Amino acid sequence: MLKFILRRIGAALVILFGASVLLYILVINSGDPLQDLRESNAENRDYLMEQRIANMNLDLPWYQRYLTWLMGVGKCFALQCDLGTNRSGVSVNSLLELAASSTLRLVLLATLLALVFGIAIGILTAVRQYSGLDYGVTFLTFLFFSLPVFWAAVLLKEYLAIGYNNWLSEPDFSVMQIALTALIAGFLMQVFLAGSIRRRIITFAVTAVFFAVALPALTALDFFRNPQLGYVGVALLTFAVALSTTAMATGLKNRKVLYPALITAALVSVLQIALFNVFYYYMNWWFIVAGLALAVLIPWFIGRKMGGRYSATAAGVSVATGVIGAGLTVIDHVFRAWPGFLGMKPRPIATIGSQTPNFGGDFWQTMLDQGTQLLLPTILLTIISLASYSRYTRSSMLEVAGQDYIRTARSKGLPERTVIFRHAFRNALIPIATIAAFDFAALIGGAVITESVFGWKGMGELFITGLREVDPNPVMAFFLVTGTAAILFNLLADIFYAVIDPRIRV
């Protein structure tokens, strides 16, 4: 494996070098970087032209300019990258840092959500092939996949930003809205849960009644302007997560898995109270990262020690409980900060930009500000990527489901959940890993249209600006990041194959 990785890295460096030379030549020959100044009537035009020539080294031959850039890239191996300046004399390093951080915030969350929901939907539709759910999801995924990005972005701005902000000033539901929501929710729930006609009717009725009661109750409690989960709410939801993940993994009768999950849920319920002041007064991103690490390590240790021969499953269920419980604790504190945030920003869902300029809130209010700015572009990228992940997962699961070892597993009497998640899903992950690697690497390059519509100063904007201004250094910085990411994630996908399927190691 080490020799394989070294060969791939060597080949990648050669590919990057050849592609960088080609791209540099194409960019510098795509136009005249001094055209706007040649047409200018400014009195200091000659001085401005001399300054731009000096900033872009236009007095040097192209290969010398390229070698200067390449030497600056070589300094990255000593962690001292020098990517030059743009045509205005601004360091490309600083421009790249701002663009990459902005794009990564958007891409990481969108990719993660698309992966989780896309894989879950793909598994569900594969298990219930040719059902009404399968046909409905297939229609929606093709619809999302074919949506024009700019048009979908305008719709999101109109209904999830402008419309929601108007509604939030005086949140209320009409009788017609409550009735339609209850009926639609009941219909969707019975489609997802399926079963006999009797079970479908009961599911529809219970869901419809729940929404018909819950929406007026939430409005009466002013939940939409003053939401809270509270200690009890976080504890109840965390225990519900422990029970549901155990039921899906092995069933509630398996005490070796159930007890570690319940202990993890109890630990989360206690710590959310014990650490309340830390969350309220001293919270920062380092605490978030440390809390996430502990939410993984402690439940993993509990599951491994108490799980016995089910230690791997117990550890996975406990970690899921811990991470989701920690997330619910964070959500509770975000809810607590929401009323103060509305006081500072009465129209919370923004339609442009990555954050509000000169926003002066505390940690939680700043998180809300950045989160609401992130909401619309994340939803847009997620629903577009969701289609690919769900379709690939479905087709891969259906292909694996016809294999001999799946029939053997069923004939041995293994529970269906074990057959699906332990035997079928793991072998179906290989094509999904390929798609995820390339998709993430592509998105790092910036969702150009999405960033343009929502006013994000990300990688896509850096690339387009460099091309428009015939400025090679920003374009080459974009290429350096995206090209390296594409090769790196392709390599990681190959390594992941060996983790999923031990036969590939041979």
**Using one digit for the tens of pLDDT, what is the confidence trace for 269-315?**
999 999 888 888 888 888 889 999 999 999 999 999 999 888 988 99
- Find how far residue 487's CA is from the centre of its chain: 20
Specify the long-range contacts of residues 452-457, CB closer than 8 Å, at least 24 apart: 453/149, 453/150, 453/153, 453/154, 454/153, 454/351, 454/352, 454/353, 454/376, 454/377, 455/352, 455/353, 455/354, 456/102, 456/103, 456/106, 456/353, 456/354, 456/377, 457/98, 457/99, 457/102, 457/354
Q: How many residues in total does the chain contain? A: 506
Could you tell me what percent of the chain has a pLDDT over 90?
31
| SS3 category, 91 | strand
Query: What is the pLDDT averaged over residues 483-498?
Result: 79
- The helix (run of H) or strand (run of E) holding residue 100 is helix 92-127
**Using one digit for the tens of pLDDT, what is the confidence trace for 393-426?**
888 888 888 888 888 888 888 877 778 877 888 7
| SS3 category, 85 | strand
Which alpha helices (DSSP H) does 346-471 contain, by range?
363-401, 404-411, 416-418, 425-444, 448-454, 459-468
- Joined together, the tokens standing for residue 149 give 């990005």
What pLDDT score was predicted for residue 503? 65
Q: Which amino acid is at 501?
A: D
What pLDDT score was predicted for residue 4? 75
What pLDDT score was predicted for residue 148? 84
Q: How far apart are CA 111 and CA 115, in angstroms?
A: 6
Angle (nearest 5°) at CA 429 between 318 and 303: 15
Q: How far apart are CA 200 and CA 187, in angstroms?
A: 9
**Using one digit for the tens of pLDDT, what is the confidence trace for 32-61?**
888 888 888 878 888 888 888 888 888 889
Q: Is the pLDDT of residue 505 over 60?
A: no
**Using one digit for the tens of pLDDT, what is the confidence trace for 216-272?**
999 998 999 999 888 999 999 999 999 999 988 888 888 999 999 999 999 999 999
Angle (nearest 5°) at CA 436 between 131 and 124: 20
Q: Is the pLDDT of residue 506 over 60?
A: no
Q: Does the pTM of the predicted model rise above 0.75?
A: yes
Q: How far apart are CA 472 and CA 291, in angstroms?
A: 42
Q: How far apart are CA 86 and CA 470, in angstroms?
A: 10
DSSP 8-state symbol, 355: S
